[in-house]
Amino acid sequence: MRPSGALWIAVSLAGLGGCANIEAMHSPAPPQHSENMPEDRDTIAAVLVGSTFQSMQRLAQAAPAEQAEILAAAREAYGRSPQGEAQLRYALMLATPGHPARDPVMAQKLLRELAARPEALLPLERAVTLIELAQIDSELGLKAENERLQNDEQQRTDRERIALAQHRLQTELDENARLRKQLEDAQAKLDAIAKIERNLTQRKPGNEGAQP
């Protein structure tokens, strides 16, 4: 099973996300105005992305009931706030292989919307969006090409079948024409024989009357 593009970087970010989660639980909230605001934003992004990767891993490995719960939670969060991190999380869930509700087409749509609004995401989230979108584009492009080739092959097979059927039909028509010609020739011979017999029958009484 081919892993999702975002999962390829899960290993490198999982540790960061896990540490950030621990620090977030045991540290006070950052102040509203901080000289380290860019670093704070990066930490928040790492926490969110790490949490999303962990959910993706569970989604790929869980039982069907838990898979449905995980996806439903992501869908509900996206419904409440259809933008930014919630949209990225839902898109990544839809793109994750290994569950029956996977929908790469919908994931591609959501990711393209996010890529068109980079200001709605933090830098790390934008990077994940572009990586996963490239993976989904490649997957769907290959799928479309495979379907096109299959359609071409099917069309070629259909043309060959049609040509074969036409050849068989023409052979049958030619055979029917040959048999019809033989029947007409035989009928013509029978008609000729019948005509000769009628002529002989018509001449016979006259010939007998002419005898002494």
Over residues 68-114, the pLDDT tens digits come to 999 999 999 999 988 888 999 999 999 998 898 999 999 999 999 99
- The span from the CA of 58 to the CA of 155, in Å, is 43
7-17: pLDDT as tens digits: 444 434 444 34
Does 44 reside within a domain? yes
73 assigned to some structural domain: yes
- Indicate whether 146 pLDDT > 90: no
Single pTM value for the model: 0.54
Per-residue confidence at 207, pLDDT binned at 50, 70, 90?
Answer: low
Per-residue confidence (pLDDT) for residue 18, from 0 to 100: 41
> Could you tell me if residue 55 is inside a domain?
yes
**Per-residue pLDDT for 3 more than 80?**
no
The most confident of 33-37, 42-46, 48-52, 195-199, by mean pLDDT: 48-52
Domain limits at 102? 5-29+36-148
The answer to whether position 13 is within a domain reads yes
Q: Please write down the HEC assignment for all residues of the chain.
A: CCCCHHHHHHHHHHHHHHHHHHHHHHCCCCCCCCCCHHHHHHHHHHHHHHHHHHHHHHHHHCCHHHHHHHHHHHHHHHHHCCCHHHHHHHHHHHHCCCCCCCCHHHHHHHHHHHHHCHHHCCHHHHHHHHHHHHHHHHHHHHHHHHHHHHHHHHHHHHHHHHHHHHHHHHHHHHHHHHHHHHHHHHHHHHHHHHHHHHHHHHHHHHHHHHCC
Angle at 147 between CA 146 and CA 148, to 5 degrees: 90
Lowest mean pLDDT among 9-23, 47-61, 75-89, 169-183: 9-23
Whether residue 191 is contained in a domain is answered as no
Q: Which residue has the tokens 């020739």?
A: 185
- Would you say residue 171 lies in a domain? no
The separation between CA 120 and the C-alpha centre of its own chain, rounded to angstroms, equals 31
| Residue 139 counted as domain residue | yes
Closest CA to 88 of 58, 117, 59, 57: 117
> How many domains would you assign to the chain?
1
Per the domain annotation, does 206 fall within a domain? no
| CA dist., res. 95 & res. 105, Å (int) | 8
Q: Comparing C-alpha atoms, which of 112, 101, 106 is closest to residue 134?
A: 112
